[in-house]
Amino acid sequence: MSNIHKAFENKKAFIGFLTAGDPDIETTKECIIAMEEAGADLIEIGIPFSDPIAEGIVIQGANIRALESETCLDDVFKLVKSVRTKTNIPIVFLTYINPIFNYGYENFFKTCKEAGVDGIIIPDLPYEEKEEIKHTAEKYEIDIISLIAPTSHERILKIAKDAKGFVYIVSSMGVTGMRKEITTDVESIVKLVKEITKVPAAIGFGINTPEQAKHFSQISDGVIVGSAIVKIIEKYGKDAPEYVYNYVKEMKNAII
């Protein structure tokens, strides 16, 4: 078992996302530490990709800035190793499949293990293609985090059965990004997942206010916040860690 379950032990988890290398690796490291100090329970680190098709405009921007600062996979591994000297907080990667296919699956998961990564989210690797990496990821004890969408319906059963780490429940249709209102009946999706697996279920996509965080943490095991954090990093650049700390603290307080 990976470290991920610790994020959910006797508490609702706050999961914060940022893109590695936005605007540079040093700032990313400071933001991760700030999030942890503000009470985040799990950190999701995005590996930049040229064509992030599941992302909205805010995280697309983060990918562009990270690639402009020439962030590559080896830099992201160095970042995790460096973060690991300060904290044991569970860390998962979010990456599209091509950069890791290109790096070589064996090489990638082996390095994940060495660096101290606990899990991986791959938006363009659905259940049907999971075999691509499943055995290699298992060999190095890296959890593949499964996504469940509002459109998953009868697919929920097989996806949840196979889930490891936590289940990522997508709250809304479309791509990542802050939403004023979330209208999907996420609660019944969570209920269904809970009937099938003991793996914790966290909700993401669109969550950005403390009220939303409170509401969604009440019906699940945790909330995932990405675009709102990235927006702060976009606005404050190298000065972002302090503002990220304040924001995460406010959000975490709302879900306790």
Q: What is d(CA 18, CA 20) in angstroms, rounded to the nearest whole number?
A: 6
Output 94 or 248, the one with its CB closest to another protein. 94
**Burial environment of residue 235 by CB neighbours within 10 A (0 to 12, 13 to 18, 19 or more):** exposed
Show contacts with another protein in window 96-115 (CB under 8 A): 97-103
Give least dist CB 6 to another protein, A: 26
Tell which one of 58, 73, 89, 240 touches another protein (CB under 8 A): 73
Task: Tell me if 243 contacts another protein by CB under 8 A.
Answer: no
Q: What is d(CA 109, CA 93) in angstroms, rounded to the nearest whole number?
A: 11
Task: Tell me if 4 contacts another protein by CB under 8 A.
Answer: no
Q: State the binding string over 169-208 for another protein (x if CB under 8 A, else -).
A: -x--xxx---------------------------------
Stretch that binds another protein, among 19-27, 153-161, 228-236, 238-246 (CB under 8 A): 153-161
Task: Tell me if 10 contacts another protein by CB under 8 A.
Answer: no
Stretch that binds another protein, among 94-102, 186-194, 196-204, 238-246 (CB under 8 A): 94-102
Run of H or E including 175:
none
Output 9 or 128, the one with its CB closest to another protein. 128
Output 196 or 214, the one with its CB closest to another protein. 196
Q: What is d(CA 88, CA 170) in angstroms, rounded to the nearest whole number?
A: 27
> Which residues, in sequence order, are bridge partners of residue 17?
44
Exposure b/e, 139-169, CB count within 10 A at least 16 = b = ebebbbbbbbbbebeeebeebbeebbbbbbb
Give least dist CB 153 to another protein, A: 6
Shortest CA distance to 31 belongs to which of 115, 41, 20?
A: 20
Give least dist CB 152 to another protein, A: 6
Cα separation values, 114 from 65, 118, 123, 141, 146, Å: 27, 10, 23, 11, 23
Stretch that binds another protein, among 82-90, 117-125, 211-219, 236-244 (CB under 8 A): 117-125
Output 10 or 180, the one with its CB closest to another protein. 180
Q: What is d(CA 97, CA 140) in angstroms, rounded to the nearest whole number?
A: 18
Which amino acid would we find at residue 121? I
Stretch that binds another protein, among 5-13, 49-57, 193-201, 209-217 (CB under 8 A): 49-57
Counting DSSP H helices and E strands in the chain, the numbers are 11, 9
Contact between residue 142 and residue 2 where contact means Cβ atoms under 8 Å apart: yes
Using CB under 8 A as the criterion, which residues of the chain lie in contact with another protein when the complex forms?
49-51, 53-54, 56-57, 60, 67, 72-73, 97-103, 123-129, 146-153, 155, 159, 170, 173-175
